[in-house]
Amino acid sequence: QKEVEQDPGPLSVPEGAIVSLNCTYSNSAFQYFMWYRQYSRKGPELLMYTYSSGNKEDGRFTAQVDKSSKYISLFIRDSQPSDSATYLCALLSGYSTLTFGKGTMLLVSP
Amino acid sequence: EAQVTQNPRYLITVTGKKLTVTCSQNMNHEYMSWYRQDPGLGLRQIYYSMNVEVTDKGDVPEGYKVSRKEKRNFPLILESPSPNQTSLYFCASSPNGAGYGYTFGSGTRLTVV
């Protein structure tokens, strides 16, 4: 079983929709959870990070972590065409071991 | 502007010809790392460095070398490139460990023929 599972998509939604992106993991050692966004031909950029179970909100983005189920989510409200990108979850164990999901491609149509 | 700068952006080379991809950051970050990104495999860590003269292997270090002689620079060296090293490479830096979130460079698209 892979350490981090993420549906590759693509996920296609109309503008204004609520988007749910998810990752599951198997290693209980993961303690920090991040979401990165990667536009085509660009490096990933950090969107959000959290280390506890529960929700963390930042504008239109909400990160949710359920450690008991080993499940993390990123919700995007009022999605915009500019949100079209690949979203990568990233999970940290220890000081430097960051494991990335393979990414979900999101397409938001006007 | 705070950034991680990689050069070159695109490179086509032949098998066995040594090459270096440079990486420089202007944020005084202690932690730097190299990743490769391949379709279906995602981002995989090659090497990382916690500080000057301190480097360690990531998940896929074979065929690569790194050095950290100065805080701002972290070059990736391919002594004898092979076609299976054709990939998209990213350099990243962080203030102190991967848990603080990386700033990534724009990537280097390497093709080895």
**What are residue A81's phi and psi, to 5 degrees?**
-55, -30
- Lowest average pLDDT, out of A25-34, A43-52, A90-99, goes to A90-99
Residue in the block written with tokens 């202007």: B26
Nearest chain A alpha carbon to B58: A97
Q: What is the mean pLDDT of residues B27-39?
A: 95
Given pLDDT bands bounded at 50, 70 and 90, which one contains residue A1?
Answer: low
Per-residue pLDDT, B40 = 87
The pLDDT tens digits of the residues spanning B34-60 come to 999 999 899 999 999 999 999 999 999
CA distance A75 to A73: 6
Given pLDDT bands bounded at 50, 70 and 90, which one contains residue A84?
Answer: very high
Per-residue pLDDT, A44 = 95
CA distance B49 to B68: 7
* CB contact A70 to B (< 8 Å): no
Distance set, CA A95 to CA B6, B48, B94 (Å): 24, 11, 12
Per-residue pLDDT, A102 = 94
Per-residue pLDDT, B34 = 97
**What are residue B27's phi and psi, to 5 degrees?**
-110, 5
Q: What is the mean pLDDT of residues B4-8?
A: 97
Q: What percent of chain A has pLDDT over 90?
A: 75
The pLDDT tens digits of the residues spanning A37-46 come to 999 989 999 9
Comparing A81 with A94, the larger pLDDT belongs to: A81
SS3 (DSSP) at A83: helix
Alpha carbon distance, N-terminus to C-terminus of chain A: 38
Q: Phi-psi region for residue A78, left (φ > 0), alpha (ψ -120 to 50) or beta? A: left
Alpha carbon distance, N-terminus to C-terminus of chain B: 36
The pLDDT tens digits of the residues spanning A6-37 come to 998 899 999 999 999 999 999 888 889 999 99
Give B-chain residues touching A5 at CB under 8 angstroms.
none
Give A-chain residues touching B98 at CB under 8 angstroms.
92, 95-98
Per-residue pLDDT, A51 = 83
User: Is residue A72 pLDDT above 90, yes or no?
Assistant: yes
B33 forms bridges with which residues in the sheet? B48, B92
Residue in the block written with tokens 């990486």: B23
Per-residue pLDDT, B88 = 97
b/e code B28-45 from CB counts within 10 Å (16+ = b)? ebbbbbbbbbeeeebbbb
Per-residue pLDDT, A2 = 65
Q: Which residues contact B94 (CB under 8 A, 6 or more apart)?
A: B29, B30, B31, B32, B33, B100, B101, B102, B103
Give B-chain residues touching A43 at CB under 8 angstroms.
4, 90, 92, 104-107
